[in-house]
Structure 1
Amino acid sequence: MAAEDRHPELRTATLDEIIGREPPRPDTVTAVIQQTVKPEAIERYEQWLRKVMPIAARFPGHRGVNVIHPPAGTLQYTITIRFDSLAHAQDWFGSEARRQLIDEVAEFLDADENVETRSGLEFWFRPTAGQRPAKRYKQFLLTLSVIYPLTMLVPAVLRNLFGRVLPTPNYFTEHFIASAAIVALMVYVIMPRYTRLMSRWLYK
């Protein structure tokens, strides 16, 4: 965590002062970039990708990038890049460095790139080409079916663990660790698999 993101005064703040604070923005922002490459330019395009990724990683708030290679019969690459806030994502996408990189790759592409920016869990409800968007009530029910058991089980497991390691655990520390564990399980473990498993119902 950067020094400017820390708030030492919270160590001595009262419970009422904490409750009165505006919550921080909780989720990462994910940008989905789709680029269709000319058949004869694939090797040069892949070299360009290897150049871009470490440059993007130098921008503040960068949280990782994934490249999904084209399915059989297509030449469309999908790149997902994550930032810790919309402001940091905009810094990258509006930068002169990225503009120069896009100028470099233009000759390798068969069409203009497509960029969509999504925050938090909304990313996992992004339909594939040709699918209708998932109805909001289905997104709500699917997310609730994950959140509800996690908020029951994770704190109970951690409370049992803390009881063995720390006889009198700090409430805020315990709550923070439980929240971080739930978000990590949602984003990295459960939602990517669960939305694929339920896709027929979700996008019906």
Structure 2
Amino acid sequence: MSETQSETVTLVVRHQVRANHVPRYESWLRRIIATASQCPGHLGVDVVRSHQARVAQFTCVLRFTSLERLQNWIDSEQRRQLIAEVEPLLRTGDQLEIAENKEFWFVPETAQAPPPRWKQSCVTFLVILPLSLLVPLLWQPLFQRIPWLGGYLPSNVVITLSIVVLVVYLFMPIATRLFAAWLSPTVDEDRP
């Protein structure tokens, strides 16, 4: 086996592209692939495109003869300028992963991006607030019958455990299905 084969390094680049910018991104992608192919040690590139929930994801797998040559490409002024140019088209920035072996098996990320945290917070609040008001009232008869269970620490443990179990196993799945359309990324959210 040659030294080149034994030192092959793989760079995986993932980009989530805003829905209304895919044609511009594809044009940019052709330019960066051509530029990378001129770098010393470049062995080739593969591109996989996937599309979920109005988000186009591109996974590019580049192979170089050594980690040093790969790092030279990553740190190059040409790449820096091209990445700066494409950043406004991306949802999540330039995501890099390096594998120091000659073969790299991967599965493109197909999972949809999570909803914005503020939306998650709103749904969680809508689920927990009624439970935090209702659950203590439901436990009051038992706390009156068993005074030690009604103490500060035991009662809070019982109430908190009840709320957590109800949220995780019953109400949050229902709320998530109910608000699914609102929680999903929309084309409007992709706009800069």
Superposition TM-score, scaled by structure 1 size: 0.48
Tell me the distance in 2 between the aligned counterparts of 1:24 and 1:72. 37
Structure 1 101/62 Cα, relative in aligned 2: closer, same or farther at 3 Å?
Answer: same
CA offset at residue 130 of structure 1? 8.9
The structure whose Rg is larger is 2
Would you say 1:107 and 2:67 are equivalent positions? no
Q: 2:63 aligns with which of 62, 82, 93?
A: 82
> Which stretches of structure 1, 4 residues or more, deviate above 3 A after TM superposition?
71-74, 126-131
Tell me the distance in 1 between the aligned counterparts of 2:4 and 2:30. 33
> Which amino acid in structure 2 is aligned with residue 101 of structure 1?
L
Maintained 8 Å contact 1:65/1:79? yes
Maintained 8 Å contact 2:59/2:108? no
* Secondary structure, counterpart of 2:93 in structure 1: coil
Which residue is 1:52 aligned to?
32
Maintained 8 Å contact 2:14/2:59? yes
Q: What's the C-alpha RMSD, in Å, of the aligned pairs?
A: 2.5
Which residue is 1:142 aligned to?
none
CA offset at residue 111 of structure 1? 1.2
CA offset at residue 55 of structure 1? 0.6
* Secondary structure, counterpart of 1:43 in structure 2: helix
Would you say 1:40 and 2:20 are equivalent positions? yes
Q: Gaps spanning 5+ residues in structure 2: where?
A: 112-192
Which residue is 1:14 aligned to?
none
What per-residue deviation string (whole Å, max 9, x for no partner) do you get for residues 21-40 of structure 1?
xx788131010000000000
Q: 1:91 aligns with which of 72, 75, 84?
A: 72
Name the structure with the higher strand share.
Answer: 2
CA offset at residue 95 of structure 1? 0.5
What per-residue deviation string (whole Å, max 9, x for no partner) do you get for residues 54-101 of structure 1?
111111000001110114544111001110000000000001110000
CA offset at residue 129 of structure 1? 4.6
Tell me the distance in 2 between the aligned counterparts of 1:88 and 1:53. 16
Aligned-pair identity (%): 37
Tell me the distance in 2 between the aligned counterparts of 1:52 and 1:25. 24
